[in-house]
Amino acid sequence: MTFTSMLFLFLFLPISLAFYYLSNDRAREYVLLAISLLFYSLASLPYLGLLVVLTVVNVCLGRGIARSARGPVGTGLLTVGVLLNAGLLATFKYEKLALSLFGGCFSSAVQGNSILLPLGLSFFTFKSISYFADVYSGRAELAEDPVHDALYLSFFAQIQSGPLTRYGDMTLISRGRLDPALFSDGVFRFLIGFNKKVLLADVLAHITAEVFAAPIADLSTGFAWLGSVCYSLQLFFDFAGYSDMAIGVSEMFGYPCMENFNYPYMTESVSRFWRRWHISLSSWFRDYIYIPLGGSRCREKWRVYCNLLAVWVLTGLWHGTKWNFVVWGLGYFAAISFERLTGLPEKLKSPVGRFLYRIPVLFFINFQWVMFNARGFRENLRFIAVMLSRQSNALLDSRAAFLLKDYGCPLALAVVLCFPLVPWLDGKLKDRGKAHLLFEAVLALLVGAGFLWAVSFLVAGQNNPFVYANF
């Protein structure tokens, strides 16, 4: 079950909200924890027992760390907790990578025993590690009831693909009653995310699936560029759409949630791109990997770059177990290191120069998304080579023109929505009374109509799984 399934939309979510708000204040978190476990059982039943056991163990470890403060017992429990969760993630997620490295040693012993990744294990692991670290350092104060800790770790709105909230941030904004403003904002955010996913990401997926399925030897340059641009847009609207829905569901249950995307393709540089894209993940790596290693405070500059290298290798490995993900992470390490060494784009005095610098940045990000594609390292390199050469194929060139004509409207809308047009209009009209009310009414009408249209896509069976559910 996913956020875009009919079961979730018209049964699970409304019934869960009803049970939650009809419960008394004391039982509310217990009810939400039960709802979260039910959601997980419907989405990944074989691993429900693992989730329950791991949640109980992590809560016990977190409580033990809090009681022991920074003493040797607390340090030991912190170490055990990190190793337990990271080791479990490695066991499930990196089995294939280990086999590719050491398969010759024990391939006969493990052949055919491939392990399926439990739903949301990567995000659960990262939330657990931040929970241990924040409790150990005193950045977070534990709630009286351990059920709050268990809910933080397994909250169904965030367990599948984040955002990676922090323990100290998961607090009810209005205990004991429905907050109308937060609830309505949550509904609106959910509808926006739903439209992004179904009307844009899933539609663009038709183009990307066709392009990336074509034999690379037969690709034309134009066909390859069409696929790469649509893939970049698909990834954004797929994951940003999920994040909007996750934030919306969290707010419906009274829990504010951090933003995860901030118009990333408006970025001024490669390094700032990661302050706009998957913000919760990049801030997690900053706070729990980069800064503990010394961050930018190291006296020796080479150590700063070693810290950056560690972060980006781990970021690549977190996203996938194929070598192209490692190369993808190393690509960002190289680009960000280049910007640090040269001082770009800050050293560009002219606004025109800073604007023009964005062009190679966007080209680089687009190439990186091609490398991010899960087909494999060599195939992705060959795809990029086609993009950078002048390959012609009359059949595929005419097919690209047909796809542009057939999908021109959603593609153009996707490009436009990469810009902060709606917030800009909202800011311009905010002090204009009736004009602002009219703007809000038109926006709500468009979002509502889009939702009904998107639901018709689901009824017709046109629905793709979330791309980031694979990570």
Q: C-alpha angle 420/247/264, rounded to 5°?
A: 30
Show Cβ contacts of residue 127 under 8 Å, excluding neighbours closer than 6 positions: 152, 153, 158, 164, 165, 167
Of the candidates 148, 206, 278, 319, the residue annotated as catalytic is 319
DSSP 170: -
**Residue 108 pLDDT:** 41
Q: Quick: pLDDT tens for 21-73.
A: 999 888 999 999 999 999 999 988 899 999 999 999 999 999 999 998 778 99
Q: Quick: pLDDT tens for 243-287.
A: 999 999 999 999 998 899 999 999 999 999 999 999 999 999 999
Average pLDDT over residues 292-301: 90
Average pLDDT over residues 300-326: 91
- Cα distance between residue 404 and residue 370, in whole Å: 20
- Cα distance between residue 403 and residue 301, in whole Å: 49
319 a catalytic residue: yes
Q: For the chain, give every domain's residue range.
A: 6-101+119-171, 184-268+345-470
Band of residue 107 on the pLDDT scale cut at 50, 70, 90:
very low
- Cα distance between residue 245 and residue 247, in whole Å: 5
pTM of the model: 0.92
| Cis before 345 (ω within 30) | yes
Range from 89-98, 114-123, 359-368, 462-471 carrying the lowest mean pLDDT: 462-471
Show Cβ contacts of residue 55 under 8 Å, excluding neighbours closer than 6 positions: 150, 153, 154
Average pLDDT over residues 80-93: 92
Residue 233, pLDDT > 50, answer: yes
**Residue 349 pLDDT:** 87
Secondary structure (DSSP) of 32-52? HHHHHHHHHHHHHGGGHHHHH
Q: In Å, how far from its chain's centre is CA 69?
A: 32
Q: Quick: pLDDT tens for 347-391.
A: 998 999 999 999 999 999 999 999 998 678 889 999 999 999 989
The residue among 182, 363, 188, 178 whose CA lies nearest residue 270 is 363
Instruction: Assign 214 to helix, strand or coil.
Output: coil
Q: Quick: pLDDT tens for 159-176.
A: 888 799 999 888 876 555
Average pLDDT over residues 96-117: 49
Q: Do the beta carbons of residue 335 and residue 274 sit within 8 Å? A: no
Query: Which of 320-349 are b and which e, b meaning 16 or more Cβ less than 10 Å from the residue's Cβ?
Result: bbbebbbbbbebbbebbbebeeeebbeeee
Average pLDDT over residues 110-120: 58
Report the mean per-residue pLDDT for the chain. Answer: 90
- Token pair, residue 419, equals 């810009």
- Cα distance between residue 451 and residue 449, in whole Å: 5
**Residue 111 pLDDT:** 42
